[in-house]
Amino acid sequence: MRILLVVYDNDSFVSWFPQGLAYIATVWRNAGHDVTVYSQDVYHWPESHLQSLLDTEIFDVVGVSVIGGYYQYRKLLKISEAINRAKHRPFYILGGHGPAPEPEYFMKKTQADVIVIGEGEQTALEILEALENKRTMASVAGIAYNDNGNCARTSPRDLIRNLDGISFPAWDLFPMDHYTMMRMPHIKNSERCGAVQSGRGCTFKCNFCYRMDKGFRARSIENILEEIRILIQDYNVSYIAFTDELTMSSEERTVEICEGFLKSGLKIKWDCNGRLNYAKPKILKLMKDAGCVFINYGIESMDQKALFTMKKGLTLKMIHEGIQNTLDSGISPGYNIIFGNIGETRESLQLGVEFLLKYDDHAQMRTIRPVTPYPGSPLYDYAIQKGLLKDCEDFYENKHVNSDLLAVNFTDMTDSEFHEALYEANVTLLNAYYDHARIKAIETARRLYMERDASFRGFRQS
C-alpha cells in the first residue's frame, strides 16, 4: 500500500524529530509498504499544499499523530479538513497522546477512520493487514474506528514487552539535517543532536499527567548503544537527547546506562529527564563521567502540600538536596515548575519563584506556566467531577486556548488574580534572566577589547 505520513507544522524554527511516526514508518516499510513523509514541520507548507498533493497523487492511507496541546489540536483540525476535502481522500489513521484518551470526540472533529490508542507499532501493522484483506477493524485491538458513522472501540492492546524487538526509526525518510540542528543545553554550535528513547513509560502517577501505558519498560543498553552508533556514523551526531518520560527510572537503571556509555568508549554528550529522589552524589558523578550535561527535573511546586496533592512523590528536602547535588556534580538541572494545582495559593507561586532564583545556573530561561488538566489525566477527571469543566469539547474549544494561560482554575483566586500573579512572577524571572545576559555580554566586550580576547566570535545569538 502507498502511505503518506504527515508531520504537522509546530511553528518552530527547528523541530523535534518525530520519533513516533518514524517508528511506524519503519514497521510499515519492513512489511513491504511504500511510505512517504510529508514534512510540513520543516517546510511550513499551508494545508492547501497538502490538499493539492492528495488531489494529484494517489495514497491508500494517510497517517497523522499529535500530542494534546491547544496549538496541535487546532492544527489537526486544519490538516483533517485538507485530508477530507481531497479528491482522492485516503483511509485516515490518527494517533498520539492527543486523541487517544477521547477518541469519540476526535473522530467526530476530524472524521478519521481509525484512531490508534496506545503504542502504534503492532496496531499500525494490523490495520493495514485488515484493509488489505478487507476485514473489519473490529479485529484490531487498541483502536477506535468509524463503524457506519458510530465510534466503536476494540479491546485494549497489550504493551510491547520486548522493546529491543522494535526496529530503529526510519531516519532516512526524514530530513535529518534539519532535526539534528535541535539546540539543547550545553550543545555547541558545531554539534549535532540525535533523539533517542531509552525506554517507555513512567513509574509515578502525577495527577496532571496522562499516561497511555502503565509502569516502565527499558531497552537493553546494547540496543541503545547500537542506535547511537548509527546516529554518530550516518548523521554525525555528537549529542544525544533522551526523549523518554523518565530516563532516571531508578538508581539501578541510571547506573546501568552510565556504565554502558563508559564501557562503550563513546565520547558523547547527553541529557535526560530525571527524578530528584535518585539525584545522589554517587549517581550524578557517574552520569557526569558518562557524558551527561543536563538533567530535566519535574519539580512542579515548592509547596509541600501541593506536592502531596498532585502525587508527585517528592519532598522539599529531596528537591533541595537533589538540585544542590546536581549543581555540585557539574551537571545543569532543568527546573519545571507549574502553578495552579488543587489548593495552591499565591504564596505557593512565590515559593517557586524564590527557588528558581536561588538555584539559577543560567543554562535556560526560567518561567512558570499554569497547570493544565489534559484529557486522560486524573486532574481532568477531577475538573469534570467538580463542574469546572464540562467535557473534552469544552476543554479544547473554550478553555485550553494557550499553554501559558489558565485553562481551569483550581485555586481560590479569581482568573484575573491568577493571571496577575503569574505575570508578576514571570516578570521577576525574566528580569533576572536578561539582567544576567546583559552583564555577561558586557563582560564579553570587556575581555574582547581590554584583554584582546581573540577567541571572540561576534555579538550574535546562536
In this prediction, residue 22 carries a pLDDT of: 98
Examine residue 159 and state whether it is found in any structural domain, yes or no.
no
Query: Residue for cell digits 513523509?
Result: 37
Question: 432: exposed, middle or buried (C-beta count within 10 Å: 0-12, 13-18, 19+)?
Answer: middle
Distance from C-alpha of 61 to C-alpha of 1, rounded to nearest angstrom: 8
Count the domains in the chain. 2
Work out the percent of the chain whose per-residue pLDDT is above 90: 96
Is the pLDDT assigned to residue 377 strictly greater than 60? yes
Run of H or E residues at 133:
none
CA distances from 57 to 37, 82, 84, 90, 213 (A): 14, 14, 15, 10, 37
Q: Predicted confidence band at 296 (pLDDT cuts at 50, 70, 90)?
A: very high
Within 10 angstroms of residue 161's Cβ, the number of other Cβ atoms is 7
Examine residue 460 and state whether it is found in any structural domain, yes or no.
no
Q: What is the CATH number of the domain that holds 142?
A: 3.40.50.280
What's the chain's length in residues?
A: 462
Q: Is 205 helix (H, G, I), strand (E, B) or coil?
A: coil
CA distances from 26 to 2, 63, 129, 229, 261 (A): 14, 14, 16, 18, 26
Query: Residue for cell digits 558518562?
Result: 290
CA-based end-to-end distance of the chain:
43
Q: What mean pLDDT do residues 158-185 have?
A: 97
Which residue type does 230 have?
Answer: I
Q: What is the CATH number of the domain that holds 402?
A: 3.80.30.20
Sequence-separated (6 or more) residues with CB below 8 Å from residue 62 = 3, 4, 5, 6, 54, 83, 90, 91, 92, 93
Is the pLDDT assigned to residue 255 strictly greater than 60? yes
Whether residue 136 sits in one domain with residue 33? yes
Write down which residue in 103, 118, 153 finishes a domain: 153
Q: Which three cell numbers stand for residue 458?
A: 561576534
In this prediction, residue 459 carries a pLDDT of: 83
Which residue type does 96 have?
Answer: G
Whether residue 284 sits in one domain with residue 234? yes
Q: Which three cell numbers stand for residue 304?
A: 509541600
What is the pTM assigned to this prediction? 0.95
Q: Is 370 helix (H, G, I), strand (E, B) or coil?
A: strand
In this prediction, residue 223 carries a pLDDT of: 98
Q: What are the contacts of 393-399 at 24+ separation with CB within 8 A?
A: 393/105, 396/70, 396/73
Whether residue 303 sits in one domain with residue 429? yes
Q: Among 238, 254, 255, which Cα is nearest to 246's? A: 254
Within 10 angstroms of residue 368's Cβ, the number of other Cβ atoms is 22
Sequence-separated (6 or more) residues with CB below 8 Å from residue 420 = none
CA distances from 122 to 7, 27, 29, 118 (A): 20, 8, 13, 10
Is the pLDDT assigned to residue 462 strictly greater than 60? no
In this prediction, residue 144 carries a pLDDT of: 98
Q: Where are the beta strands (DSSP E) in 140-225?
A: 143-147, 150-153, 193-196, 199-202, 215-218
Interval 308-320: pLDDT, tens: 999 999 999 999 9
Examine residue 459 and state whether it is found in any structural domain, yes or no.
no
Examine residue 365 and state whether it is found in any structural domain, yes or no.
yes
Q: What mean pLDDT do residues 330-338 have?
A: 95
Backbone φ, ψ for residue 298 (5° rounding): -90, 100
Q: Predicted confidence band at 363 (pLDDT cuts at 50, 70, 90)?
A: confident
Whether residue 190 sits in one domain with residue 144? no
Q: Is 172 helix (H, G, I), strand (E, B) or coil?
A: helix
Whether residue 315 sits in one domain with residue 260? yes
Work out the percent of the chain whose per-residue pLDDT is above 70: 99
Interval 401-441: pLDDT, tens: 999 999 999 999 999 999 999 999 999 999 999 999 999 99
Q: What mean pLDDT do residues 264-276 have?
A: 96
Q: What mean pLDDT do residues 329-352 have?
A: 97
In this prediction, residue 215 carries a pLDDT of: 86
Backbone φ, ψ for residue 232 (5° rounding): -65, -50
Examine residue 300 and state whether it is found in any structural domain, yes or no.
yes
Whether residue 147 sits in one domain with residue 184? no
In this prediction, residue 274 carries a pLDDT of: 97
Examine residue 158 and state whether it is found in any structural domain, yes or no.
no
Whether residue 253 sits in one domain with residue 217? yes
Q: Predicted confidence band at 214 (pLDDT cuts at 50, 70, 90)?
A: confident
In this prediction, residue 210 carries a pLDDT of: 87
Q: Among 348, 344, 407, which Cα is nearest to 380's? A: 407
Q: Predicted confidence band at 173 (pLDDT cuts at 50, 70, 90)?
A: very high
Is the pLDDT assigned to residue 353 strictly greater than 80? yes
Range of the domain at 290: 180-450
Distance from C-alpha of 441 to C-alpha of 462, rounded to nearest angstrom: 14
Q: Predicted confidence band at 461 (pLDDT cuts at 50, 70, 90)?
A: low
Q: Which three cell numbers stand for residue 139?
A: 479485529
- Mean pLDDT for all residues in the chain: 96
Q: Predicted confidence band at 280 (pLDDT cuts at 50, 70, 90)?
A: very high
Interval 112-129: pLDDT, tens: 999 999 999 999 999 999
Whether residue 324 sits in one domain with residue 190? yes
Interval 39-96: pLDDT, tens: 999 999 999 999 999 999 999 999 999 999 999 999 999 999 999 999 999 999 999 9
Q: Which three cell numbers stand for residue 355?
A: 527557588
